[in-house]
Amino acid sequence: MTSKLDQLKQFTTVVADTGDFDAISRLKPVDATTNPSLLLKAAALPGYTSLLDDAVKGCAGDLGLACDRFGVAVGQEILKVIPGRISTEVDARLSFDTQATLRRAERIIGLYDQAGIGRERVLIKIASTWEGIRAAEQLEKAGVQTNLTLLFSFAQAVACAEAGVFLISPFVGRIYDWYKKAEGRDFVGAEDPGVRSVSRIYQYYKANGYDTVVMGASFRNLGQIEQLAGCDRLTISPDLLQQLADDQGDLPRILNAGAGEARQSLDESSFRWAMNEDAMATEKLAEGIRLFARDQEKLEALLAARA
């Protein structure tokens, strides 16, 4: 009997949600994703000391540049042990500024270019705000592919597909967290609100012929992963990847393309109204941006101490 991880890989591209080289080398995902929180954790590992030192050299006190250099350096190392792509995130504090997001994304791509890494191996991660989606639309037209993160609502998914973004990362676990707290009960299997959200988006995209990749993210347990077996991609933490690797049980494909809702179109006002009407999405998007911003600041402080 093969492991659940090996079975999952038969119909879903498995992505490692980590910056830990050792875990990636051991579990052999196709792609990997990072974010400010994961980079902050990576920075505490002994093997990253030289990357931190190199990141601050010649930055003349520009800590944003040092952070981008560190993120790209981590991405370069990860790309040595995976066959696919690395997702590197734009500073979350720019989430409501389209032009600033574009400039930072272009700098990150430029750093990868300087390192000899082709842009076909990089995804630029951007928060799924209206401004972030507009920046992604321009990047995609310029040949830079994007990963729209902190996605919690159907409206965000609709707007991302219309903008032609390469990939979205709907956050299963954080949706689950919100509803578990709001309703005071647990959810399992197909009734899990995070699972239901990703399933709805997946069916909508397939029914309407969108090429945008759906990559479920932010998992709390194996049950959520198993319910989304068949999704285009799933980005999974090393702990849960290891649990899947250790489990020899059966893992059938659950998610298949089927009937989906009719194609929708959202302008800025209708997007903002839909977000306003979705308390969970509004709260979790704002919270996610704040948390990433705080970890970005902590990473900057860590780099400043080494300058």
Known catalytic residues? 125
Residue found under tokens 């219309």: 162
CB 101 within 8 A of CB 94: yes
**Other Cβ atoms closer than 10 A to 44:** 8
Distance CA 132, CA 162 (A): 13
Q: Would you state the structure tokens that stand for residue 203, as one six-digit string?
A: 């069916």
Report the C-alpha gap between 234 and 215 in whole angstroms: 5
